[in-house]
Amino acid sequence: MKKRVGVAILGLGVVGGGTYKTLVSHRDFYLKTQNVDIVVESVLDKNRERLQELGVPEECIANSIAEVVTNPAIDIVIETIGGVGIAKEFVMAALKEGKSVVTANKEMISKCSHELERIAKRNCCGLYYEASCVGGVPIIRTLLDGVQANHITEMMGIVNGTTNYILTKMAQEGKDYAEALKEAQSLGYAEFDPTNDVEGFDSTYKLSILSSMAFHTKVPYTKVSREGISTISAQDIANGQDLGYTMKLLAIAKNSEAGVEVRVHPTFIPSEHPLAGVNDAYNAVYLRGDALDDIMLYGKGAGAFPTASAVVSDVIYAATHSEIKYSTYKNTAAAEGDVKFISNFSSAYYMRLFVEDKTGVLAKICGIFSKFGISIVKIMQKGNTRNENGRLPVIIITHKTNENSVKNATAKINASGLGTVEAVIRVEA
């Protein structure tokens, strides 16, 4: 017998609208292929124009969250509002009434999944969030049902399309950051206030969700070390290209006996690395498992229909699976007490300096590196364009060292009068 499942959609913005259209246009297809009749029973959005534009029938328009969550015809509530205010309030109301929730909300899941999951468990309903990370790319289902045979030891992802678009334009067209950002805004990739994307918050939320799942331990978003792309110069991107590197904003998670390392920052990767070819607004996640070796998932990380694809796949999953699965780890606000987070992580580094043009200056700077145990792979003068103080540009590539040593060496050089460190970029092999 065909199963009938009623859904409600909260918020008909870009993703909610794409979800509504997908559910309505594919209803017969899901009936035929999944043996389930998914019916949009109700939508909640204050914007009447938007409701009209999408052709939502009058009888499906709800006036309040209470009306939605007390409707016995609704089994699953889809939240596509975003943020943690009203969205969290509505999701909690739905879970308390025993409705399973499907959400695209990375900030809410990253910050509050422990609270929401507790309510879901108590009320025997599910909480699904494939669309919260990497849009249409099924990374969460892959972690849950595809690679669970493995100890995942490493994950590196380009999980934010806006920043990837900006960095691609800077690399391919030599645009500076402000120009590339403006273009991303005019195309609708970047928001009017781009902080959430360009300063790495969006990637941080996603990395906290994905690494918790990959490593089966809670990784609070506050443990993710974060640096955005707003201070990156086209010059450094071009210098990296000359050295065989491509710059990406990477979300990196590593799990070893030494501890868990989670960080988001602009990174140089070898230009032949699979992630280096992920351009424009595309996303990709590269995973390493002990049995699997490496895999990479690639696709659109944002947009109405790619994200709706993830939302609807969760709806279908929830509608066709009676057993509800929750986190494989202890989902609490804080990390488990015995998990060590490594903030002084190891990496190779690219450093750009302006140095005094005097005999012995480079020897003294190399002495500072040596004092902090940093071994240099390459040191080169890059062009003859002096800065306003008459200093010359020098690039240094280090062997693997650690974050604190580089910070200490940078402070020492800046205080020495020998030169200034203008840029520090981590290099991943």
# residues near ligand HSE by CB under 6 A? 8
CA dist., res. 50 & res. 56, Å (int): 9
Q: Which of 161, 194, 393, 419 binds ligand HSE (CB under 6 A)?
A: 161
| Least separation in angstroms between CB 307 and ligand HSE | 7
Q: Indicate the residue type of 136.
A: G
Cβ partners under 8 Å of residue 351, min gap 6: 395, 396, 397, 398, 406, 410, 421, 423, 424, 425
Tokens of 353: 């300096």
Q: Are strands 152-158 and 392-398 parallel, antiparallel or unpaired?
A: unpaired
Instruction: Work out whether 162 is an interface residue with ligand HSE (CB under 6 A).
Output: yes
Do 422 and 352 touch, CB atoms closer than 8 A? yes
Cβ partners under 8 Å of residue 405, min gap 6: 372, 373, 374
Looking at the Cβ atoms of 106 and 248, the one nearer to ligand HSE is: 106
CA dist., res. 50 & res. 80, Å (int): 14
Neighbours of 225 (CB within 10 A): 17
**Binding residues among 71-130 for ligand HSE as defined by CB under 6 A:** 106
Looking at the Cβ atoms of 125 and 284, the one nearer to ligand HSE is: 284
Q: 368 to each of 355, 406, 408, 415, how far by Cα in Å?
A: 13, 10, 9, 11
| Least separation in angstroms between CB 83 and ligand HSE | 12
| Least separation in angstroms between CB 302 and ligand HSE | 4
CA dist., res. 140 & res. 358, Å (int): 55
Residue with tokens 């402000």: 178
Looking at the Cβ atoms of 160 and 420, the one nearer to ligand HSE is: 160
**Binding residues among 345-404 for ligand HSE as defined by CB under 6 A:** none
Instruction: Work out whether 16 is an interface residue with ligand HSE (CB under 6 A).
Output: no
Looking at the Cβ atoms of 54 and 166, the one nearer to ligand HSE is: 166
Looking at the Cβ atoms of 10 and 134, the one nearer to ligand HSE is: 134
Looking at the Cβ atoms of 74 and 247, the one nearer to ligand HSE is: 247
Question: How would you label 394-412 residue by residue, b for 16+ Cβ within 10 Å and e otherwise?
Answer: bbbbbeebbbebbebbbeb
Active site residue 206: yes
Neighbours of 383 (CB within 10 A): 11
CA dist., res. 124 & res. 100, Å (int): 8
| Least separation in angstroms between CB 281 and ligand HSE | 7
Instruction: Work out whether 202 is an interface residue with ligand HSE (CB under 6 A).
Output: yes
- Among 202, 168, 160, residue whose Cα is nearest residue 301: 160
| Least separation in angstroms between CB 365 and ligand HSE | 38
Looking at the Cβ atoms of 162 and 420, the one nearer to ligand HSE is: 162
| Least separation in angstroms between CB 234 and ligand HSE | 20
Sign of torsion over alpha carbons 105, 108, 113, 116: negative
Residue with tokens 């309040």: 64
Looking at the Cβ atoms of 133 and 171, the one nearer to ligand HSE is: 133
Q: Of residues 206, 218, 248, 254, which has the active-site annotation?
A: 206
Q: Indicate the residue type of 129.
A: Y
Q: In sequence order, what E strands does 91-233 have?
A: 100-103, 127-128, 152-158, 225-226
**Binding residues among 121-160 for ligand HSE as defined by CB under 6 A:** 160
| Least separation in angstroms between CB 65 and ligand HSE | 24
Strand partners, 263: 225, 252
| Least separation in angstroms between CB 211 and ligand HSE | 16
Q: Which of 75, 117, 197, 314 binds ligand HSE (CB under 6 A)?
A: 197
**Binding residues among 288-327 for ligand HSE as defined by CB under 6 A:** 301-302
User: Would you tell me which residues interact with ligand HSE (CB under 6 A)?
Assistant: 106, 160-162, 197, 202, 301-302
Q: Report, as residue numbers or ranges, the catalytic residues.
A: 206
